[in-house]
Amino acid sequence: MPSKVTAARPLPSRKLPALAAALVFVLALPFYLIAGWPVVAWALAVALWAGVEALNLAAAGLASPDASLGRVGLAGAVRMFRLFLIAVTLAAVVKLDRDLVLPLIAVFALAYTCELGLSLVSYYANEPL
């Protein structure tokens, strides 16, 4: 018998975590302006996060409950591609302008952590199946 931690639960809505991450970006913009950090780094972080969210939506559409095994495998590949997209984007930014890397990673990591934390809390708040 699985424990309460490992028991399967219904998937919660992804709207609240995504909105919380978007709120992190909105609240970070004034900080970037006041601190004198490059707004280009903030914009790149927002664009990267939006691209990752678009890939999440595409993967969720592929892996619907009635999807074939091939479509579910493709959804997994799309989810792994997200990491590649992040790594390539960061490598390109390092190559072009090293001064953008820290501000970009700071806001992206904060938004991602906020989104992940809320996703975990909302998942474990549901009763096991």
Residue pLDDT, tens place only, 21-45: 999 999 999 999 999 999 999 999 9
Query: Is residue 61 a part of any domain in this protein?
Result: yes
What confidence score (pLDDT) does residue 22 get? Answer: 96
Give the pLDDT mean for 68-73.
Answer: 85
Using pLDDT thresholds of 50, 70 and 90, give the confidence band for residue 67: confident
pLDDT tens-place string over residues 41-66: 999 999 999 999 998 888 888 877 77
What confidence score (pLDDT) does residue 9 get? Answer: 84
Give the integer Cα–Cα distance in Å for 85 and 89.
Answer: 6
Q: Do the Cβ atoms of 128 and 7 come closer than 8 Å?
A: yes
What pTM did the predictor assign? 0.85
In whole angstroms, how far apart are CA 52 and each of 9, 124, 126?
24, 23, 25
| 6, pLDDT greater than 70 | yes
What range defines the domain where residue 53 resides? 15-125
What confidence score (pLDDT) does residue 1 get? Answer: 62
Query: Is residue 2 a part of any domain in this protein?
Result: no
Query: Is residue 5 a part of any domain in this protein?
Result: no
- What length is written for the chain? 129
For the CA atoms of 43, 34, 25, 85, the dihedral, rounded to the nearest 10 degrees, stands at 40
pLDDT tens-place string over residues 71-124: 888 888 988 888 898 999 999 999 999 999 999 999 999 999 999 999 999 999
Is the sign of the CA dihedral 72, 77, 82, 85 positive or negative?
negative
Query: How many domains in the chain?
Result: 1
Query: Is residue 19 a part of any domain in this protein?
Result: yes
